[in-house]
Structure 1
Amino acid sequence: MIPVDAHTMLEIAPRFSGANGERQAAIVAAVGEVLRPTLERYAIDTRLRIAHFLGQTCVEAAGFRTTEELADGTAYEGRKDLGNTEPGDGPRFKGRGLIQLTGRANYRSMGKALKLDLENNPAQAADPALSLVVACEYWKSRKINDAADQDDVIRVTKLINGGLNGLDERRRFTAKAKEALARLEGILVTGAQPEATRATLHRGAKGEAVAGLQRMLRGLGFALAVDGDFGAATELAVTQFQQAKGLDVDGVVGAKTWAALETAAG
C-alpha cells in the first residue's frame, strides 16, 4: 500500500494561518500517525480508493481543520429521523468525525460497530484518530470502495452526503489527492526525489511536457493533436492506455503510467 501520512494530507489540503492553521496541524499530525494502518484495515488501499477518501474527507473536515461541525447543531433539534428525541439532542449529537456522524441514532449505531459508548460520550467522536475510524467505518458501511474503484466522484459524493453538495470542491481535492499519490508512487518506484522524476500530468495541464506525452501517445496509435493542452481527448487516450496495461484508470500520468508508456514506446 502507498505509505500515506500527515505529509500526504498537507499536500492535498489548503493551508491556513492563525488558529485555523494550529487546529489543522494538530489534526493532521494525529491522523497522520495512524492513517496508513487504518486505511489498510478497511481495504482503502489502492490509489483510487485512497484518493477519493482523502479528497472527500478534506472537504468534509473543512480542509482537515476540524473534526466537529462548525454549526452548533440546533438545526437538528427534534429530528426524529436522526433519533433526536430528547431536548438538547441536536447540539449534543452534532456532526463529528472526518465524515460527519450526526444524530443520536447514528451515534448509537456507530458506537455498537466500534464497541464504544458514543451515545453517552458523543464528543469522543471528534478525537482526531477516532474521527478517522468513524469515517472509515461509514465508508465501509456504504460500500464506497466500489464507487471509488470506478473513479465515480458523483456517486462517492452522493453516498457520503446524500446529494451533490460541494461537488466542485470534492472533484478538486480528489484530483489533488491523485497527484500527491502519483508523486509518492514515483519516489517508491524510481527511488528518486520528486524533482528528479517526470512531471505528473493530468487534465488541465499545459506545456511542453504535455506535448511530449501527446507525441508518445500518437506514436502508440492514438489520434491526438500535439497542442500541449491536456484536455478531454488526451485524458481519454491516457485512460484507454491505462486500461489496456492493467493500471489504475484515473487519467493521471504518474510514475507507473510514464514507465508503461516508455516501455510501450520501446
Structure 2
Amino acid sequence: MNAPPFQPVPEQRGPESGVPVRPGGPGLAPPTQPQRNAPHRPNPSALPDPVWADAPVMCLNCGYSLEGLEAPGVCPECSTPFEQRLLWLAGMVKRAKTPFSARQLGMIVCGVLVFLSIQFGFIAYMVLGRTFLIVLAGLIVTLVALIVTRPRGGKHEGAIRLVCGTGGIAFIPLKGEPRPGLLGESFHPWGEADAASLDRVSPFWRTLRVGAVGGDNVLRPTFEAGVRCPDEHEALVIEALNGMLAHKTAPPIHPPTEPPTEPSTEPLGGAAREADPGSAGSASPGPAEYAPGPRRP
C-alpha cells in the first residue's frame, strides 16, 4: 500500500499579533507597550462650537447668588465683574498661571513670623511670657487655615468648558454643573492680561493664549488652552475676548433689580439653533457683534 504524498502544513499566524503559531498549540502574542508621554487631544468633532450664553445666576468666582442684580456689575461678595452674556468655549487647559494674591502674601508673612518665633522663641518667652505663646498659636492656626482653604484648581485634565467673561475664565465640566463651593477653585482671573490670540492648529482647533503684551510687542501668556473653534468663528471669538479684556474694569455695585429670566444659550452668531456636540461639519451661523455693557463712571 502506497503512502499518501507528503503535504506541508501551511504556516498559521495569530489573528491579532501576526506571530507564527504551532498548529494545535497556543499562540504567543508579544506584550503591548503603552505609549508614554503621547499627547492626548480630544476629537474636535465631539466638542461643541463656541456659543453665547446668558450670565449665570451665581458668581463664577465665589458662587454668590446674582439673582436680582442687573448686568453689567460686580459680585457683592468678591467684587468679580460679570456681564449680561458670556462666551462658552470647549477645550483643554494647558497652562493657567494664577496671579499673586493676598492669600499668598498672608501665607508668606505668617510662615516667616512662625519661623522667627521658633528660632527666637526662648528670648521672646522670657520677655513676653504667655502672650508670646498666644501670638505663636494664632500665627500657626492662621497659616494652617490659609494652606487648607487655598484653591486647588490649578490642574485640569480632560476636555472642559471654558466660560469667558469680563472677570476671567471659569472651568466647568462638559457634563453636569459644578457645586457653588468649587467654583472659586476653577476660576482664572484675567489679572494683568490685556490681549488674546488664537493660533490655528486645524480647521476646527485653535490654541488660545491670554496674557500681557510687553514693551517689545510680544505676548507673554499666563493662560493657554486648546479650544474647538472652527475657521468661521475665529475672528468673532478673538474680537469677543479682546473686548472682555478691554472692559475688565467693571462698574460699581448697583442696587438689586428684578430677577433675571431663565438662562439660555444660543450659537455664536445669534442664530436660534442648539449647539450640537457632534456638529463638526454643520453650517456655521451668521456673524454677530460682541457688545459688552456700557461702562459707568
Task: Name the structure where helix makes up a greater proportion of residues.
Answer: 1
Task: Name the structure where strand makes up a greater proportion of residues.
Answer: 2
Q: Bin the TM-score by the shorter chain.
A: under 0.3
Relative contact order (C-alpha < 8 Å, sep 6+): which is higher? Answer: 2
The structure having more radius of gyration, on CA atoms, is 2
TM-score, scaled relative to structure 1: 0.25
TM-score, scaled relative to structure 2: 0.23
